[in-house]
Amino acid sequence: MIRENGFTLIELLIVVAIIGILAAVGLLAYDGYTKSAKRNSAEILCKQIIKEVKTKWTGCQSGVPCYLKSSNSGKLDKSADWCIFNSSNPSKTDMRAQAFVGHYGTHSQTGYIWGPRNPYRTNVAAVNTSCPSDDKLKPGCIEIIGTDKDNSNCGHCNPPIKAGEFIFQCYNLDSNGKLTKYREHFQTQ
């Protein structure tokens, strides 16, 4: 009688189980790696935008004109307290600084970041724009919100990654609306 060589059913099931366990571990590791890479990329891009906002505002507060053209007339407007950023064309990959032209209480319609002439006036605004160095990111990379309660502006970056992963950037203003402290706080929910 000739004995047949081969694997038994038990041996085949053990091999399949081992392959399944290895595949599950590999998928979890890969998912964690890609999530971490996306978070790091979003963090870098948001830092670039916040740095640009800080630079532009600091320049305007020092009297340096930065694209001081009124969005209504296209003429130079030297009466601005500081810059705003216009996101009316969020498909562009740059942020354009403009002067404060009197938009008040219309933050949900205009998409401006703006500083009031009177620091005690309500200062709520949001912007929806692209990251300066990433053509692949769609509008929604950064949203900056200011309040009239504590004279602070806090930026909240919600990049196109899974829900609950947010990056926050904050900087404080004094009672005159001047930038006094710059602090970055990253938090994931």
pLDDT at 9 exceeding the cut of 70: yes
Q: Which residues pair with 153 in a beta bridge?
A: 146, 171
Judged by average pLDDT, the poorest of 19-33, 75-89, 133-147, 155-169 is 155-169
Confidence of residue 99 (pLDDT cuts 50, 70, 90): very low
C-alpha 23/C-alpha 135 separation (Å) is: 34
Question: Between residues 93 and 59, which one has the greater pLDDT?
Answer: 59
Considering only the C-alpha atoms of the chain, give the largest distance between any 2 of them, rounded to a whole number of Å: 103
For the chain, the average pLDDT equals: 47
C-alpha 73/C-alpha 120 separation (Å) is: 27
Contact indicator for 156, 166 with CB cutoff of 8 Å: yes
The domain ranges of the chain are 10-185
Supply 111's token pair: 């998409």
Q: How many CB atoms lie within 10 A of CB 38?
A: 15
Q: CA end-to-end span of the chain, whole Å?
A: 68
User: For residue range 71-80, what is the model confidence (pLDDT) as tens digits?
Assistant: 444 443 344 3
- Kindly report the pTM of this predicted structure: 0.33
